Amino acid sequence: MLHEELSSASGQQVREAVRAKKWTRT
């Protein structure tokens, strides 16, 4: 349960971070 939750949260946070980085980089 914890692993799945961490994976989901990590995936969502990573995706948002990548989007923000791409936006800031562009």
Q: Residue 4 half-sphere exposure, CB side, CA atoms within 13 Å?
A: 1
Length of the chain: 26
Predicted local distance difference test score (pLDDT) of residue 15: 85
Would you give per-residue pLDDT tens digits along the chain (26 residues)?
566 665 666 778 888 888 888 766 66
**What is the distance between the alpha carbons of residues 10 and 25, in angstroms, rounded to a whole number?**
22
Predicted local distance difference test score (pLDDT) of residue 7: 62
Predicted local distance difference test score (pLDDT) of residue 9: 65
